[in-house]
Structure 1
Amino acid sequence: MILKITHFVLFVTISLITSCSKSPKKLSKIEGKQIPIESNYSEPDSINNYIKPYRNRINNVLDSTLAYATHKISKQDGTHNTSAGNLMADIIYLQANPIFKSRTKKNIDFVLLNHGGIRSIISKGPVTARTAYEVMPFENTVVVAELNGKSILDLIQYLINSKRAHPLSGAQIILDKNNQLKTLNIQGKPFNPNRTYFVATSNYLVNGGDNMGFFKDGISITETDYKIRNAIIDYFKKVDTLSPKVDNRYYKTK
């Protein structure tokens, strides 16, 4: 009798397990509700006290003075090149070229960024790490594309057609009065259509961002893994004063 009861219990247990395995639980409904944040909402003291030391530390790091700007630096103060654009492009050349050279034994020939990538002015006065985050809030990195002569000319034509002061460093572009290319010098030497050039830009642009399709024809692409914002901060730490100006790196003759 005991043996029969034991067999019955085992049979029922196995049947239940088998039944459960064949009927998995499924999510039948999801409910949600909107919780408005009213004007009288305040942070709970427990949370605020917990994060306060971290917030204070971050603010101290971001707001420590790294350099000084002698005047307002803007991307709106020039037609073909601007003080902010020139500063940004020059920083990328100075900071990224040693990294690129150490990996490839080559030098960056020139830098091209995009006008829209500069998101803020740099006000006259103290310059901080927070300034760099305001100017470049994105996580873009410096990438170097090797372009042939045709792609370089496509790049120049893009600049002419866009009619925007895209940041440029290491090259000089002079247009005639009809907006046609008159002179192109790279690193102080006349453009040679039969050689390749190494152009530093951002990972966003090298993938065709801002309609810069000529980068997709690159012969080689080198990712430096160096964030543009970090390059800006590193540069701020190295210099005492920022005083970029509109110059003759890209202009139109009368």
Structure 2
Amino acid sequence: MQVTRIEGKQISISDSLKANTEIETFIKPYRDHVNQDLDSVISFSKETYSKKDGELNTAIGNLFADAIFEQCNPIFNNMTNNDIDIVLINHGGIRSIISKGNITRRTAFKLMPFENSVVVASLNGHAVNELVSYLSKAKRAHPIHGLKIALDNDYNLIEATINNQPIDTTKTYYVATNDYLYNGGDHMDFFKASDTMYNLNYKIRNVLLDYFKKTDTIQPEIDDRFIKANNIK
């Protein structure tokens, strides 16, 4: 026996399709429980924050990076006796705004719907310089912490520091990122230079949830961590 013909047709899913009452009755208690959990208030936002609010750094991006450092550095330090030097997350990884008013668990799921986890890569100073070069050329507000970059009006590098110190090419730096970027996502190929990776087993969504729970009111700001400036004092 051989298949000689396959036929099919497209069925559009719209409100013209009637719900199955038996299935709806079965699902409803679970849906109600999940919605109640997602709608529980865990923090408050003073303003509405979007990743479109700034050219090279944004308040919401700064919150992302700062929250990762605050939540993950104690874990990494306990694991290795070292501290995280830099946090780098991709601009595209922020998938929603934070609206003014109550922050719920649903907010965190909208911000980070993916299952990405925090990893820490060891990078030598040369690779960190490549990281800085990548950010300078990207001209995009990729969230960073610990690293400060100043560009001129033509986006040429003026200065880059880590914890207010010049980048030392003989030193090893520890860069917290997500597993997607570590594996080459967004063409961040400088992570290929890493000879050691530490998986913190901590999803970024859970980082945000834990940060919001312990922070009564959030009020992040656009600052000077990544700017265009002709003069550095």
Q: 2:149 aligns with which of 173, 189, 196?
A: 173
Q: Describe the superposition over 1:99-152 as per-residue Cα deviations: whole angstroms up to 9, x where unpaired.
A: 111211111101001111111111111111111111111111101110011100
Aligned residues with identical type, % of pairs: 47
Unaligned runs of 5+ in 1: 1-25
Q: Describe the superposition over 1:189-236 as per-residue Cα deviations: whole angstroms up to 9, x where unpaired.
A: 232221010000010000110010000111211111111111001111
1:148 matched to 2:128? The reply is no
- Provide the C-alpha distance between the structure 1 equivalents of 2:127 and 2:97, rounded to a whole number of angstroms: 31
Closer, same or farther: CA 37–115 of 1 in aligned 2, 3 Å: closer
* TM-score normalized by the length of structure 2: 0.92
Q: Which residue of 1 aligns with 2:44?
A: 68
Closer, same or farther: CA 37–178 of 1 in aligned 2, 3 Å: closer
Q: Which residue of 1 aligns with 2:97?
A: 121
Closer, same or farther: CA 38–171 of 1 in aligned 2, 3 Å: closer
Q: Which residue of 2 aligns with 1:45?
A: 21
Q: Describe the superposition over 1:151-181 as per-residue Cα deviations: whole angstroms up to 9, x where unpaired.
A: 0000000001001010001111122344332
Closer, same or farther: CA 102–32 of 1 in aligned 2, 3 Å: farther
Counterpart residue identity of residue 249, structure 1: R
Q: Which residue of 1 aligns with 2:164?
A: 188
Greater Rg by CA: 1
- Provide the C-alpha distance between the structure 2 equivalents of 1:74 and 1:39, rounded to a whole number of angstroms: 32
- How many pairs were matched up? 229
- Provide the C-alpha distance between the structure 2 equivalents of 1:153 and 1:119, rounded to a whole number of angstroms: 28
1:143 touches 1:201 (CA, 8 Å); kept in 2? yes
Once the 2 structures are TM-superposed, how far is the Cα of residue 27 of structure 1 from its aligned partner?
A: 8.6
Q: 1:85 aligns with which of 46, 49, 61?
A: 61
* TM-score normalized by the length of structure 1: 0.85
Q: Which residue of 1 aligns with 2:81?
A: 105
2:137 touches 2:155 (CA, 8 Å); kept in 1? no
1:88 touches 1:232 (CA, 8 Å); kept in 2? yes
1:209 matched to 2:169? The reply is no
Unaligned runs of 5+ in 2: none
1:148 touches 1:219 (CA, 8 Å); kept in 2? no
Q: 2:112 aligns with which of 122, 128, 136?
A: 136
Q: Describe the superposition over 1:59-115 as per-residue Cα deviations: whole angstroms up to 9, x where unpaired.
A: 011011111110111111111100111010111111111111121111110100111
